[in-house]
Structure 1
Amino acid sequence: MRLLFVTSEVFPLIKTGGLADVSGALPTALASSDTEIQILLPAYRGMLAQCSSPKHLGSLQPFHDIRCELYKTLLPGTNIPLLLIDCPALYDRDGGPYHHPLHGEWEDNPLRFGVLSKVAAMLAMPNMLQAWQPEIVHCNDWQTGLTPYYLKQMGSQAKSVFSIHNLAFQGNFHADWRYRLTLNLEDYQAEGYEFYGQVSFMKSGLFYADALSTVSPTYAREIQTDQFGFGFQGLLQHRAADLTGILNGIDTEIWNPAQDPYLPAHYTASALSGKQAIKQALQAELGLRQQADTPLLGVVSRLTYQKGLDMLIEIADVLLGSGCQLAVLGSGEASMQRQYLSLMQRYPGQVAVTIGYNEPLSHRIMAGTDIFVMPSRFEPCGLNQMYGLRYGTIPVVANTGGLADSVHGGEINAQGVPGTMTGWVMADNDASTLLVTLQTAMQVYANSGQWQQLQRQAMQQDVSWETSAQHYQTLYQNVLSSPKA
């Protein structure tokens, strides 16, 4: 099976969120099977220099006034071919892959990711750059949403799978972009790529792809409802038979407490003492009081309303009044950042807040804290709760999306911890329920025997990509065996 995996970010080269982790780990898991896989990615600033001996394959002209160069190398740390679209005018910039360093989203994002989508379709046609052609093009989120459209426009025989990682980010742009992106005007309608008077990359992927997937079974059901559908619920209900929810995994080599290079000590489910040493080192690193028996709560997240972290602010005074500690790493809404920094000022030695992205510190928080707090209002899959499970940092999560699918809740009774329990799943997603659930978790933490049993159960849960990759293999086979739409 020949598969072209198209994405706007991939770890370890470029990362803004979970999409990068998935884009690095899923192809690696698929490559261990009978899948021939190549990854297609824009060559953002400095990326070619990060790769080993990139080979120039040739030039492509996706649009009449846009010319780009295609390079082939390997995804660092793997043997997976990586194709990089080198177009300095579009990708060689300061800032992130989607945002100007000062002024919000890049105004030409439709063109930048229109090129990514168009090049993906061009590589699925006979071309002079390489003999290899994909049978399936796997597209990820709105940045690749025009790819299924271009495949049909160009008459490619390749099938397409479009994965929804977060339906809230849709890539909707002014209608005039249909001319610049060479979209057929007759398809600018409800039965096409039009969405409330705009060109929608997400709508294009949802409407034109041969099959749809999303990142957890629960989220696949949720996005067909008014609450979580963001205007696409009707289309997704119509395409329900083509929609599959497959829970993400994590890279268990990178996220491994027994050998994580970012940690000052190591541990396993059967030998947990190293976790306590990491906690003490983390407290020292973050300026928290050295209190080994105090429950240390962790947050690694975007600081946004979606993530429910305003609820944690709301209950912070009562929660911290119990004596626990809190370590926060993330960035997001300016007002929420200010609230968390203010909380740190009010509780010196008890609260540590680091604004920004710091991969090494995220590993140490995941390993050095006791309870991981993730009360998202919606969460397509989520990876941090799985990192928590892997590291024996017990998750407290909302009952939504992949959180509900990956964390097994329960009630601890006189007989001890239920054998399937790996964390707490809140019955209701509000501040008062979050407070009660965290208080319950901290009560159990005080019983070291129960807590260690819970840690071992969490760490023994299978969160690898192997099972998920098998589900994707089945999806690909089903798509290949179905008639071309």
Structure 2
Amino acid sequence: MKVLFASTECAPFFKTGGLGDVIGALPKELAKKNTEVAVVLPYFSQMPSAYQEACKDLFSFTVNVGWRKQYAGVKHLKIKDVDYYFVDSLYYFARDGLYGYYDDGERFAFFQMAAIELMEHIEFIPDILHVNDYHTAMIPFLLKEKYRWINAYQSIRTVLTIHNMEFQGRFSPSILSDLFGMGMERYYDGAVRFDDDVNFLKAGIQYADRVNTVSPSYAEEIQTAEFGHGLEGILRMEQHKLSGIVNGIDYEINDPENDEALYTNYSRKDTDGKQKNKLELQRALGLPVREDVPVITVVSRLTHQKGFRLVLQELENLLQFDVQFVLLGTGDPGMEAAFKSFGERFPEKCSVHIDFDVSFAQQLYAGADMFLMPSAFEPCGLSQMISMRYGTLPVVHEVGGLKDTVKPYNPIEKSGTGFGFSSFKSFYLMETLKMAIQLYQNDSETWRNLMSQAMAEDFSWESSSDRYLSLYHEIV
């Protein structure tokens, strides 16, 4: 089977969130399973220089963006049996950031047409063309409406993965004629229209052969008004082709047995090193070095989506308990300031770091007892899976991927892999934290059993990639 991924993010080249992690990991895993895999990406100027220098220039061609004839250079890089093709355009992609520009509609119209036309140039006609989020969601529509005359493309089947419903790619109706060089028929009949705009994501949902999200619960949630961001009706109409597959995490990078960022390595069979990591972390942060106090940590973007309004409402209450709270993250300036003020007021209990530091994040995953992730909505989430891999029990709002990956503590059976609350209110967050704190302080045997259950969970891409292969085979 031949699979081509079209995306605007891919680790380690450039990423802003989970999309980059998925496209960085899933193609590599599929390539291990006798799948011929290629990835097409914009050649953003943020790519680290080492990868830029490793890229090979192949050729260039011209893309008609409405009346404009735009240069599209093609660069190639092969890593671990995956071919990466980069569409080069200084005009569109030599920017300080990936998104958020006045001409994003034009930039991604160009990229999507270039990605389609590239297939013939590189003689890679896939069985599956897998597109991701709104930036590439028009590709299934374009294949069937603009490029249907190309015989080589007739048998291509398409999959659209929605990583976040909030961002849909809504642009003026004139984009169809001015940029895509098409008529307005599909706008007037409603196929791509939403609230008097052309909606890239809506077009993808209607035209792709399969639509999936990054967790089964999120696939259900986006069919409701609370999470569908206006497209819930379309998703309910197309639910026969909608499914959810939980993302994996990189087990080579996130491995407590071999992680070089840790103070001491450890494993599920021998967790003594986890306590050593905790004590070293406390020492490094200037907190009282105590085994008996639970360390609660946060590694996240500080936004309302991630639920930190609830945390700020309860943090003073939380710090009245015998706990230590450590936060690493950046985001909303108001939230940053609020957390920093708590760090200044409670220096013996609260350590706040407004920063992004990958190595420090790994030390927090390993050295903490609990990981706090109270997201308002969470399509999948990776941090809760990483924390479990390191034996740190997550405390989560039971929504989306958090609901699918964390088994809430059952006090009757004394089982679970973390703690959860279902109502998105600060009271229930605090009650859940109190239950976790009491269990940690009063029943160390059960706590160790929960740690062991969490570390035994399989969140590898090997498992997730099998589900994607099954999805591909359904439609080929």
TM bin (shorter chain): over 0.9
SS of residue matched to 1:39: strand
Q: Where in structure 2 are there 5+ consecutive unaligned residues?
A: none
> In the alignment, which residue of structure 1 is the partner of 2:70?
66
Compute the displacement of 1:274 (Å).
1.4
SS of residue matched to 1:188: helix
Retained in 2: the 8 A contact 1:294–1:324? yes
Retained in 2: the 8 A contact 1:319–1:435? yes
The superposition leaves residues 385-414 of structure 1 with CA deviations (integer Å, 9 ceiling, x where unpaired) of 11111111101111111111111113224x
The size of the alignment, in residue pairs, is 464
Compute the displacement of 1:362 (Å).
1.9
Q: For 1:86 and 1:437, how far apart are their aligned partners in 2?
A: 50
Instruction: Determine if the alignment matches structure 1 residue 466 to structure 2 residue 459.
Output: no
1:72-221 correspondence to structure 2 within 5 Å? 72-75=76-79, 78-94=80-96, 96-98=97-99, 105-124=100-119, 127=120, 129-152=121-144, 153-155=146-148, 156-157=153-154, 158-178=156-176, 179-189=178-188, 191-221=190-220
Which of 262-271 and 185-194 deviates more? 185-194
Q: For 2:4 and 2:32, how far apart are their aligned partners in 1?
A: 15
Which of 181-190 and 268-277 deviates more? 181-190
Q: Identity percentage over the alignment?
A: 37
Retained in 1: the 8 A contact 2:311–2:426? yes
Q: For 2:62 and 2:280, how far apart are their aligned partners in 1?
A: 53
Distance 1:202 1:286, change over 3 A: farther
Distance 1:203 1:449, change over 3 A: same
Compute the displacement of 1:358 (Å).
2.3
Compute the displacement of 1:459 (Å).
0.1
Structure 1 runs of 4+ with >6 Å offset: none
The amino acid across from 1:58 in the alignment is: F
Compute the displacement of 1:145 (Å).
1.3
Retained in 1: the 8 A contact 2:399–2:422? no
Q: For 2:180 and 2:272, how far apart are their aligned partners in 1?
A: 57
Q: For 2:133 and 2:289, how far apart are their aligned partners in 1?
A: 43
Retained in 2: the 8 A contact 1:13–1:50? no
The superposition leaves residues 236-283 of structure 1 with CA deviations (integer Å, 9 ceiling, x where unpaired) of 011000111111111111111111122221110111121122223323
> In the alignment, which residue of structure 2 is the partner of 1:430?
425
> In the alignment, which residue of structure 2 is the partner of 1:483?
none
Instruction: Determine if the alignment matches structure 1 residue 357 to structure 2 residue 350.
Output: no
Retained in 2: the 8 A contact 1:48–1:54? no
Compute the displacement of 1:188 (Å).
1.7
> In the alignment, which residue of structure 2 is the partner of 1:342?
341
Retained in 2: the 8 A contact 1:217–1:402? yes
Which of 250-259 and 57-66 deviates more? 57-66
Q: For 1:322 and 1:438, how far apart are their aligned partners in 2?
A: 10
Retained in 2: the 8 A contact 1:344–1:353? yes
Instruction: Determine if the alignment matches structure 1 residue 31 to structure 2 residue 23.
Output: no
The superposition leaves residues 446-472 of structure 1 with CA deviations (integer Å, 9 ceiling, x where unpaired) of 232221111111000111112211111
> In the alignment, which residue of structure 2 is the partner of 1:14?
14
Q: For 1:174 and 1:357, how far apart are their aligned partners in 2?
A: 36
Instruction: Determine if the alignment matches structure 1 residue 456 to structure 2 residue 427.
Output: no
Retained in 1: the 8 A contact 2:13–2:48? no
